Chain A
């Protein structure tokens, strides 16, 4: 399965996130994700902007940090 909006991903630390939105910039994929609660019925108030990297067939989501990067990426989610 691929990363798609409205899918839920489980990470290696067992946290689950809903993929809220996706943008692409400079050949990279960015996702706006929100942590899902334990019941899987709603989200918690924990949001992240992450960047997807692919290695050896696996997908890794790294949080976007830093003013410059956020300044660059955040507006893309809002416009879209």
Chain B
């Protein structure tokens, strides 16, 4: 969970308290508060971002990913609340807003959606499993119930057959007029009433016909009775009374016969279904009761009713004991249907959820750009500072504008380069000449014979002309002074000015080094006058004129490579006497047998 270390937490609380109680130094305290809050905010924000970036959510099992994301959401919410609390405190005392990290870069809605999708998916998976398990159980139960129902039906069919058999075998006793018991049976009873029981049991059509006949007879006899009754009502005489009684008896007989044939019809109507079979027997019992009633009305006294031998009641008990599982079967089927629908619905939902889960929703908005990369020193692999563009790097090449006076510029620059080259060469020549003067050379008397340092051995000190103008070489103590050291007075006078177009050579007193100021050849050029820039040798006269006019060393002639350390008390330029070459000096010494060391001062 989100944790801010104790120290900073305490510090924040302290700052908050100070803000409350102190009105002095409030700005400072507020500034400290802001800095600390921003620090904490950035840290936590970066941790959250890092968590998203570093966690490979796609490769985690969904349960684990859900845990991670839920934890992230909790942290996000806590962080959001924390920020609000900071903002509330800050805005009490500040006029500006607290600029915290762009929390909306974390696409929390997407994260929440993903959490919801995964949760839904996992719940659906559980439900699917549960439903499928239940479905499987119910399916098995249905099979069992169906089997039971089948067994029941089979038993009922057996009972149905028994019913018929029992009817055929049914025997009983009747009381005759004398009170004697006489044998009777269902067969004989049907026969006495005009029905061939066996025949009718095997001929459904005939049975149906008899049933129709019986109904008709009842109807007819009822009509006749009604008519007779009316007659009797109208003429209540004995004759009518007798007719009425007779018709009444006939009607009862008709109904008795009807009950018999209905019983038979019912018994023949086999039904394997539990309800039907049960209802049938109840109906049979009713019909048998009716029959008995009619038999009583007709004066037939039953001692042992053969129809009791059909054992309808016993069969009812059996049927009741079998039980009816049809309702249960219906319920199971209903439940199975419901579960099947749920499973299908859940599977479809999960397919969609899975598509959403696999679609890799973005969890954060990455706004990193080149400027961020350039400004973010943490991103660079090394500690090297991101440098500015090198000054000498060509960053752009383009054509000059139409306003650019290209021709004029070319002429100008041509003149410049030519002049510079001339001056450059001139000064190098002058340097060669002037370098013969080594004002700091001292001649010491060194009375040591065979001194190798006296450069007698010419082989060691061969003068290399190409090295004579090495600007950075120490002026060798043992160098041979070039023989051609004649200084051209004119050149000297012309060049001994402060024109900086030629690198300066300063004669270093200490070590006789000629130091050359190697900085830009052109950089320190005094602006050329207009006449100087163009390639017009006649302009040379201008220089002379200027020298005369200005009479100053500061006009536009290039400096010499050296400054003449001469008597310049009045800045006058004096001639420099030619000193003997080194060879000449040495030879002179040898001739004088006086070895002298020439060394640096």
Contact = CB atoms under 8 A, between A and B. Distances in A.
Contacts of A12: 388-393, 395
B469 interface: yes
A71 B397 contact: no
Interface in A3-42: 3-4, 6-13, 15, 18, 20-21, 32, 34, 36, 39-42
A42 B404 CA distance: 6
A62 B392 contact: yes
A59 B503 contact: no
Contacts of A2: 397
Contacts, number: 137
B428 interface: yes
Contact of B522 (A7, A21, A46): A46
Interface string A35-77: 0100111110111111000000011111111111011001101
A77 B392 contact: no
A48 B420 contact: no
Question: In this complex, which of B398, B418, B523 has the most chain A Cβ atoms within 10 angstroms of its Cβ?
Answer: B398
A13 B391 contact: yes
B401 A40 contact: yes
B471 interface: yes
B421 interface: yes
Contact of A58 (B394, B409, B412, B527): B394
Contacts of A18: 400, 404, 409, 413
B392 A11 contact: yes
A6 B400 contact: yes
B499 to A, nearest CB: 13
Contacts of A39: 403
Most buried by A among B392, B469, B527: B392
B364 interface: no
Interface residues on A, range: 35 or more
Contact of A41 (B403, B416, B523): B403
B591 interface: no
Nearest to A63: B520
Contact of B397 (A1, A13, A70): A1
Nearest to B417: A77
Contact of B392 (A4, A60, A65): A60
B525 interface: yes
B394 A60 contact: yes
A47 to B, nearest CB: 4
Nearest to A43: B409
Nearest to B416: A47
A12 B396 CA distance: 9
B518 interface: yes
Contacts of B418: 78
B361 interface: no
B95 interface: no
Interface in B137-196: none
B410 interface: yes
Contacts of A75: 421
Contacts of B389: 12-13
Interface string B369-401: 000000000000000000011111111111111
A62 to B, nearest CB: 6
Interface of B: 388-401, 403-406, 408-410, 412-414, 416-418, 420-421, 424, 428, 469-471, 503, 516, 518-523, 525, 527-528
9 contacts: A7-B399, A7-B400, A15-B391, A18-B400, A34-B413, A42-B409, A46-B522, A48-B522, A62-B392
Interface of A: 1-4, 6-13, 15, 18, 20-21, 32, 34, 36, 39-43, 45-50, 58-68, 70-71, 74-75, 77-78
